[in-house]
Amino acid sequence: MSTELIRLKDCVMTFDGETVLKSINLYINDKEFLTLLGPSGCGKTTTLRIIGGFEKPTSGDIFFDGKRVNDLPPYRRRVNTVFQKYALFPHLNVYENIAFGLRIAKQTESEIKSRVGAALELVGLTNFDKRRVTQMSGGQQQRVAIARAIVNQPEVLLLDEPLGALDLKMRKEMQVELKRIQRQVGITFIYVTHDQEEALTMSDTVAVMRGGVIEQIGTPVDIYNEPKNAFVADFIGESNILPGTMHKDFDVTFGGVRWVCVDKGFDTESPVDVVIRPEDIQLVSTDDSPIKGRVLSVTFKGVHYESTIEADGYNWLIHSTKAPNVGENVGLFLTPEDIHIMHKSAGEAKAEGGDSY
């Protein structure tokens, strides 16, 4: 097991009486790739700013290597940041923006030249070194921001939606590049995104946040396969979430049908949320399924078709490679493994910080 590098302990953040972070507990291991994932306004940037030293938690502590660093200014932390709004220096050209940290660190001119050159190449802006940053597109500026942080080879890199302004192809390429650097140089990444696919493909650990609370933290596979509640399940991938009743272990009713499932440990006859992934549902003929529905719409999504099927008052979302016809009557087929039972998430879900992995 790798060693712990950063720990947030009971961090609360309040702005003008409004609580934005409610007791964040989190630890980050050395060389780990941790992603904070959550909807807009859930406190991802604020958490990152506490780690970077731009904000002091209203209460709670932050530790680096076991030492409390609440009062350590950003310039004395071994951390660099790719800011959500880039924050490039408008009076400097691309080269000087990237060289800024190296000059502060009093590197030699030849060292600066080779490292800035490598960073420019990494982000695909090799011939832009003389360009003023104010004369660049949003995506180009974002890449300069990445280069400016990464060129310093910090121990920890904070990235606040670093690929948000890039097109899909460029984003995929940069995802691979960032991951490669993280492994090669051995940097600890704390990454913010609200793109769940990005979070799942890149991270060692994902922390799903909502309203200033970490709802769940774990490996991408755990989070995807065992979401703790309907919010996580829905956020991590489009889902069908139905109300249901858990009668006893392996026995549940939802959608007007009684099913066998693989979950247990719930109170008898307790209300639950049932989550079913759109890609787990198979379309069959009406005779082969207890759930019969009518196709409302079909949309081509590239890799698959997305259809909405109305059955028993609920609109099911289904991903399939074959397209049903609109208006057609179909049956929905589920195996016990496709059924995920969750406790009702009436805001009761407590984040257990880093303890769950």
Binding site for other proteins (CB under 8 A): 52-54, 73-75, 79-81, 83, 85, 87-91, 100-101, 104-105, 148-149, 152
> Between the CA of residue 299 and those of 196, 304, 309, what are the distances in Å?
21, 9, 12
15 binds ligand ATP (CB under 6 A): yes
List the single partner that 247 binds among other proteins, Mg ion, ligand ATP, none, CB under 5 to 8 Å by kind: none
Instruction: Provide, rounded to whole angstroms, the least separation between the CB of residue 181 and Mg ion.
Output: 22
- Out of 7, 31, 44, 115, point to the residue binding ligand ATP (CB under 6 A): 44
Instruction: Provide, rounded to whole angstroms, the least separation between the CB of residue 84 and Mg ion.
Output: 5
Among 150, 12, 13, which residue's Cα sits nearest to residue 81? 150
How many residues make up the chain in this entry?
A: 357
Which CB sits closer to ligand ATP, 20 or 332?
20
* 208's tokens: 């799903």
Binding to ligand ATP (CB under 6 A) within 165-204 occurs at: 194
46 binds ligand ATP (CB under 6 A): yes
> Between the CA of residue 128 and those of 85, 109, 145, 175, what are the distances in Å?
20, 19, 13, 21
22 binds ligand ATP (CB under 6 A): no
List the single partner that 250 binds among ligand ATP, Mg ion, other proteins, none, CB under 5 to 8 Å by kind: none
Which CB sits closer to other proteins, 98 or 283?
98
- SS3 state of residue 240: strand
Instruction: Provide, rounded to whole angstroms, the least separation between the CB of residue 117 and other proteins.
Output: 18
List the single partner that 52 binds among other proteins, ligand ATP, Mg ion, none, CB under 5 to 8 Å by kind: other proteins
* DSSP secondary structure of 254-299: ETTEEEE-S---PPTTEEEEEEE-GGG-EEE-GGG-SEEEEEEEEE
Which CB sits closer to ligand ATP, 38 or 278?
38
Which CB sits closer to Mg ion, 20 or 233?
20
Among 247, 217, 212, 254, which residue's Cα sits nearest to residue 232? 217
Looking at the chain, list the stretches that DSSP marks H as alpha helix, in order from N- to C-terminal side.
44-52, 94-104, 109-122, 138-150, 168-181, 196-202, 220-225, 230-236
Residues that bind Mg ion (CB under 5 A): 45, 84
